Structure 1
Amino acid sequence: MTSDSPSTTHVYLVGGGIAALASAVYLVKDAGIPGPNILILEQDKVIGGALDGHGDVDTGFLIRGGRMHERRFVCYWDLLSHIPSATDPAKSVTEETFAFNELLVSCAHSRLLRGAEIVDVSSFGLGPRDKWDLARLSVAPEKSLGNRRIQDWFQPAFFDTNFWRLWESMFAFQVWSSLVEMRRYSLRFMHLFPGLHELRDILRTVYNQYDSVILPLQAWLQTQGVAFSLETQVVDIDFRLEGTRKTATAIHCIEDGVPRTISLGEQDYVFVTNGSIVESSAVGSMTRPAELKGKETAGTWTLWERIAAKDRAFGRPGVFSDRIDLQKWESFTVTLRDPTFLRHLSTAYGYIPGISGLMTIIDSPWLLSLVIAAQPHFANQPPGVEIFWGYGLYQDRLGTFVKKTMQDCTGAEILTELFGHLRISEQMRPVMEAQRINCLPVMMPFIDSVFMPRSPGDRPRVVPEGATNFAFLGQFTEIPDDCVFTVEYSVRSAQTAVYTLFHTGKRVPPVYLGGRKLKSLVQAVLAMNR
């Protein structure tokens, strides 16, 4: 069923991440739904989902993470081409971002460190068997791979190559991650292979992605009359299942502590963001480790479990949420009121904020990575304050300088481990003692859940077969060929939902597959043989 009466149609969007925000934009712009007929239901105090960023000098600035951007995110840049920039309303967010990246072109010269020295990554270090395994993975039919893990395909030596170190730290893959997702990434981003060692062609927003993307989106939607119901948790959705037809009939939520039921009429729709990579995140401090929470605190996952129990077509959330030990990792955001640290990176490694990108310490048991964006990174960041972000992919291992797991470390202990690996403990001691540095760790139990090995049907289609008035959105929907853990995937799900359920006369653009372009394929082969 598609809507023929936009003026009398109401759409409820469950979740306030970029997939829901993008859906609202396309509902207004392409489906003609009046803004006041759209309601976004978000369980947190702010919208934005994984694209977050907030804080101040006194409490410290915080970013849980940042999604990678590149020029061939066709759905994402289309979305933001309609949204005025927060810094210059005469430009779109897309125009602003592209112009910014013309000024600051990504080029990493200290991508990997070992023993506080730069590792030469001009060669990926791939042996004949490694290259053969990558080649045969790119041509293997996806359905033939099943739910195998990456370590089931490659030889042990592969995981000691520069290629793997670059790959795992850039994309957050682990040896037990889904082989299917590795294949998708290889094909989707093969055009980036020649510059992978220098992070060439990676784009960044002017500020953090909350300030540069989410706030402009929210402002535009508010001018259209779209409503936001924050701190409203959706706990269940009723469906009427009649043969092959599936219709959502009611939304059950808790608003301000009060249960509420929203009945869905003949012209009403509901889009659900099923699952969340930043659900149940917990923030620590300089003196307190970040708590690891369990699934019992995860409202988004509980909602998907209740929905999935009603029909097999609604997916299997347990595949992505039941192994927190394999899905978690920890990030940290550092607020500096002293130039010593950034001066050292500049002197020792030629590091330039906003250009040099991700730096990974490969002899760190935690596999520590850090990135310093162009400053200021927050719209409210005052002069004299610098901010950087980092993460540890293996937070269950004992540190080298702090004999504790990263998960058990305070912000101060994480800094101690970082400074130890960079051989600047003595230089940074006065800064630490003067309390001119603040590190906020964040534990995210579901952050790598998108990469869990899966089988066909574990993720629901954006619009399941027979669905008349509902869709699923975000990272845990099934979109052929495209790659999860990207903003492009979320926006593509939004376009798919709107263009399938409403008469728009538009089609979702095809996924760009670098591995299917002859020029990219040839250049990738040359890069792997350097």
Structure 2
Amino acid sequence: MFKRPAPQASAKAWLVGGGIASLSAAAFMIRDGDMLGSDITILEESGVIGGSLDGSGTPESGYVLRGGRMIESKYLCTFDLFASIPTLDGTGTVTQEILDWNRTMQTSSKSRLFVDGERRTTPAFGLTEGHILTIERLGLEPEAMLGRSTIADQFDPAFFETNFWYMWCTTFAFQPWHSAVEFKRYLVRFAHMVGGFNRLTGIMRTVYNQYDSMVRPLRKWLDDRGVRFETGTRVVDLEFTHRGGGDAVETIVIEKAGIKDCIEVRDGDYVLVTLGSMTEASSLGGMDAVPALKGKADGGAWQLWQNIAADRGDFGRPAVFADHIDRSKWVSFTTTLSDPTFLDLVRDATGNVPGEGGLVTFPQSSWLASIVIPHQPHFIGQPEDVTVFWGYGLSVDALGDFVKKPMSACTGREIMVEIMGHLGIVEQADRILASANCIPCMMPFITSQFLPRVHGDRPQAVPAQAINFGFIGQFVELPDDVVFTVEYSIRSAQAAVAGLLGLERTPSPVYKGTYDPRVLFKAFLALHDVGQHTPERVLDAV
């Protein structure tokens, strides 16, 4: 039987991709595997470290966030990692900062849905008994039986007009044609949050955007320990050899400044590869510019996965995720404002101060648009007289309700007009537009990880015959946990590092609230639209 060799003291590690998965893997190698930071090199195609957890721009040019990731208390791997990472100011750990911040700024939406120009506080889910029975069935049905079926295959059309669907799909970015297996995993993984879902109770935020609050402290920790970052370096292929009953990477083929080169991987070294990318080929527009729709040829992540998986059945099937842009794309936008009028109007309309309410969705929007007003400042160094908010639309090819164009064909100015239309902002519209810099972002692969899949479409973090390599990120298979989360990337990194290095410290098991009768009881009440009316003392007695 194949046996992976024991770690060597002189081992070096090559991590492909500069996102949160690689950063976390480097940290786990140092913290848990006793490797020297100077023996770890991260290879990143772009010029920026952080991957999808980005945050950039200036007050003058406009801030940009492709997305924002929510956190919750059961992200055990995330909090484990960041309990070891000091904040930028060195006053504590990142984990403690997040926990302290969310004791002060607790999410409690008074306007999860905004309908007919008015906020809806604790909107009823509106599910039929048939919908609830289907949800309960999905929670129990084995994934193998669901196969490549979609959410639409499981529910009648009326389900997709319920408040539950509007809130669920916009919180997590699901579409009816997405995987029923992934939908099931979300139902089970977040069962403990269903009871407060219409107020987003339990959702946690970082003090600033995730790049400033998570990536920058982690990068500094790695820098301090000598980890090497080689940006502008595209990995185009890996060359494998078969030895000792297993397979090993022996060469990393790279391209830098248009010149190909090779990195020789010695016996005892490690290679971890981030597979795919949900933000690959992203394109920015501007206040008067439309973002372009690009494809997998506009970056190296998908091509690398295709190259290494071409003749390997255990390396997954990248085409399942990368070849359906029409079903994985949507548009986000970040608006920088130098006038407080817009945020003041939203505060008064929604009943929430910035940072308190979370996602506000417009279910009547043809684009199915939502906005988030974070606590200000949202960027380190953001001036007091500048504010930032973020939003996105799921139905980007539908005609707008106020701007009769698809969201995918709209400038930042037109997106602002559409959002203000749904908020009922008329008199102040010109003043707001004069101070706004709205930058839209087209992301062709943003929900590619939700596309229908079966076992084997995603590889294991450490394939069975792998001697010195593993896979990390959103496109590896991790039982029970859910993609499109920071937790999934960090868990994949911890699993791969523990498997390759033979560590005793492995990822904490995924929290399973469905084994807790109290969680199930609260979810049952909520699904039947009686949970919010039940006194907490009654729930506590169960």
Same fold, TM-score > 0.5, yes or no: yes
Q: Is the 8 A contact 1:3 1:9 kept in 2?
A: no
Letter paired with 2:338: R
**2:508 aligned residue:** 509
Equivalent of 1:76 in 78, 94, 106: 78
Partner of residue 418, structure 1: 419
Q: Please provide the CA RMSD for this pair.
A: 1.2
Deviation at 1:5, TM superposition (A): 4.8
1:122 Cα deviation after fit: 3.8
Q: What is the correspondence of 1:76-475 to structure 2 with a 5 Å cutoff?
A: 76-86=78-88, 88-241=89-242, 245-432=246-433, 435-475=434-474
1:208-231: CA deviation from partner (whole Å, max 9, x where unpaired):
000000000000001111000001
CA distance, structure 2, for counterparts of residue 483 and residue 142 of structure 1: 13
- Offset of 1:348 from its aligned partner? 1.9
Q: What's the secondary structure of 2:508's corresponding residue?
A: coil
Residue 29 of structure 1 is matched in structure 2 by 31
SS at match of 2:187: helix
Instruction: Write out aligned runs for 1:15-26 (5 A).
Output: 15-26=17-28
What residue identity is the alignment partner of 1:510? P
Do 2:112 and 2:123's aligned partners in 1 also have CA atoms closer than 8 Å? no
Offset of residue 327 of structure 1: 0.3
What is the alpha-carbon distance in structure 1 between the residues aligned to residue 289 and residue 513 of structure 2? 44
Q: Percent identity?
A: 47
What letter corresponds to residue 87 of structure 2 in structure 1?
A: S
Rounded to whole Å, the distance in 1 between the matches of 2:320 and 2:18 is 23
Distance 2:406 2:302 in 1: 27
Deviation of 1:394 (Å)? 0.7
Q: Which residue of 2 aligns with 1:481?
A: 480
Q: Distance in 1 between matches of 2:5 and 2:484?
A: 31
- For the 8 Å contact 1:236–1:253, the answer to whether it is kept is yes
1:140, distance to aligned residue in structure 2 (A): 0.5
Matches within 5 A, 1:35-46: 35-46=37-48
Distance 2:283 2:431 in 1: 29
- Per-residue Cα deviation, 1:134-154 (whole angstroms, up to 9, x for no partner): 011101011110010000001
- Match of 1:235, SS state, is strand
Q: After the TM superposition, which of the residue ranges 244-253 and 467-476 deviates more from structure 2?
A: 244-253
| Mapped partners of 1:179, 1:244: distance in 2 | 37
Larger displacement relative to structure 2 (192-201 or 506-515): 506-515
Structure 1 letter corresponding to 2:513: G
Instruction: Tell me which amino acid in the other structure corresponds to 1:39.
Output: T
Give, in whole Å, the separation in 2 of the partners of 1:243 and 1:223.
37
Q: Is residue 53 from structure 1 mapped to residue 55 from structure 2 by the alignment? A: yes
Q: What is the SS of the residue equivalent to 1:39?
A: strand
Amino acid at match of 2:30: V
Deviation at 1:243, TM superposition (A): 9.2
The aligned amino acid for 1:331 is S
**Conserved 8 A contact 2:123-2:163:** no
Q: Deviations over 1:452-475 (max 9, x none)?
A: 000110000000111110000000
Aligned with 2:428: secondary structure? helix
Q: Secondary structure at the match of 2:377?
A: coil
Q: 1:244: Cα distance to partner?
A: 5.7
Q: Are the counterparts in 2 of residues 247 and 470 from structure 1 also a CA contact under 8 Å?
A: yes
Distance 1:242 1:285, change over 3 A: same
DSSP-derived class of the 1:233 partner: strand
Any conservation in 2 of the 1:3–1:503 contact (CA below 8 Å)? Answer: no
Q: Distance in 1 between matches of 2:47 and 2:514?
A: 41
- Greater mean alpha carbon deviation, residues 25-34 or residues 3-12: 3-12
Moved more, 22-31 or 423-432: 423-432
TM-score (norm 2): 0.96
Count matched residues. 527
Determine the C-alpha separation between the residues in 1 that align with 2:98 and 2:5. 35
Aligned residue for 2:78, secondary structure, equals helix
Instruction: Specify the SS of the correspondent of 1:504.
Output: coil
Provide structure 2 residue ranges, at least 5 long, that are not aligned to the other structure.
530-542
CA deviations over 1:426-480 (Å, ceiling 9, x no partner)? 3121232xx3110000000000101000011000000011111000000000001
After TM superposition, give the deviation of residue 512 of structure 1 in Å: 0.8
- TM-score relative to the length of structure 1: 0.98
- The one-character-per-residue Cα deviations of 1:50-107 (angstroms, maximum 9, x if unpaired) are 1000111110000000112001100010000000001x31300000111011110000
- Contact 2:321 2:448 (C-alpha < 8 Å) held by counterparts: yes
> Offset of 1:2 from its aligned partner?
4.8
In the alignment, which of 6, 9, 13 is matched to residue 7 of structure 1? 9
Q: Distance in 2 between matches of 1:283 and 1:314?
A: 32
SS at match of 2:498: helix
Equivalent residue, structure 1, for 2:526: 527
